[in-house]
Structure 1
Amino acid sequence: MNEMWDGNIVVRPGPSPRHQLIIEALAGALRVGRGDLNVLVGVTVRLSDQRVVIPDIVVTGPIDIDEPVVDAADVLLVVEVVSPVSSSLDHTLKMHGYAEAGIPWYLLVEQDSNALRGHYLVGDVYQERAVMRLEQILGR
């Protein structure tokens, strides 16, 4: 997967099967009862002229579904499933980049701890608003 950060191409390996299953499950859960939102997996998002990324999941309101790139201004929520390969990228570079682009919500899904960390944009930085563990959802 290739992304562009400040004009530099960043090459990342594709997701593992576990990573992909988490993405599919979350996307399905986000779609339930929300016909007014687009829940998109693996689409290209333009954060700025020099930053083009491919988040794991993007949630938008109405957009032109024939355009190959979604503008950050149309994104309501971006989701990244953290893996050992992407941890520092997801926790620092992407978090700051999404905040600078004005995306209101950023959800980090941490595979090692089964934590879902919701961040809300306040000013130009994210503040953690909610933490949930999969065990809480599953009753384990």
Structure 2
Amino acid sequence: MTVTNPARPDHGAAWTVDDLQSLPEDDQVYEIFDGSLLVSPHADVFHGAVANRLRRLLDRQAPTGVLVGQDIGVSAKRSSYFVPDLFVARESAVDRGGAALDPADVLLVVEVISPSNAGRDLVLKRHEYAAAGIPLYWLVEPRKQTLTVLANGAGGYREQALLPVGEVYRTEQPFPLALTLADIF
């Protein structure tokens, strides 16, 4: 849903990451696309559990210097800002501080698909993350119990793998790891 608020920013001006600092801390997720504010409810319990299980699995295998995180936004470009369900970034990126991660420091973004926001994750964020140069994008679909692995290349993300719950995913990117998909659903 796109929300307009004439009080912030100045009427007719585009939203920026800095404007988000004055919004209330409530049960909403605030993101920006091309200067328009996007508001979503926080994820439900199942969605959150899937994201947390995956984060723990990635954390256990992440090498020194790599951070697996949640609840930190990524500036896709000056006028867009998204909060992925999970991200993998260079640890040095958080040492610099700031309101958002620079996409050049982000190795992977992960979105857990919610039925209410599927279009945003499958189309909008896919395009924006690719345009920002983020190398890998994973789509976790809890209801289908699948993981779609997308790699950025000429023309945007291309599907590298579509894995069902019975599979073990082994990869070298963003770091060497093996995931048993049954452990996240």
Shared fold (TM-score, shorter chain, > 0.5): yes
State the partner residue of 1:79.
110
State the partner residue of 1:113.
144
Q: 1:132 aligns with which of 155, 158, 163?
A: 163
Is the 8 Å Cα contact of residues 31 and 37 (structure 1) preserved in structure 2?
no
Match of 1:67, SS state, is: coil
Cα drift, residue 73 of structure 1: 1.1
Question: What is the number of residues matched between the two proteins?
Answer: 139
Which letter does structure 2 place at the counterpart of 1:71?
D
State the partner residue of 1:123.
154
Query: Equivalences for 1:8-87 in 2 at 5 Å?
Result: 8-34=36-62, 35-61=64-90, 62-65=92-95, 66-87=97-118
User: Where does structure 1 differ by over 6 angstroms across 4 or more consecutive aligned residues?
Assistant: none
> Counterparts of 1:129 and 1:93 in 2: how far apart (Å)?
19
Is the 8 Å Cα contact of residues 102 and 124 (structure 1) preserved in structure 2?
no
**Where does structure 1 lack aligned partners over 5 or more consecutive residues?**
none
Is the 8 Å Cα contact of residues 75 and 103 (structure 2) preserved in structure 1?
yes
Q: Flag the structure with larger Rg.
A: 2
What's the RMSD between the two structures over aligned residues? 1.4
Which letter does structure 2 place at the counterpart of 1:130?
A
The structure whose residues are more often strand, as a share, is: 1
Cα drift, residue 119 of structure 1: 0.1
> Counterparts of 1:112 and 1:31 in 2: how far apart (Å)?
24
Cα drift, residue 135 of structure 1: 2.7
- Provide TM-score, normalisation by structure 2: 0.71
> Percent same amino acid at aligned positions?
31
**Where does structure 2 lack aligned partners over 5 or more consecutive residues?**
1-28, 168-179
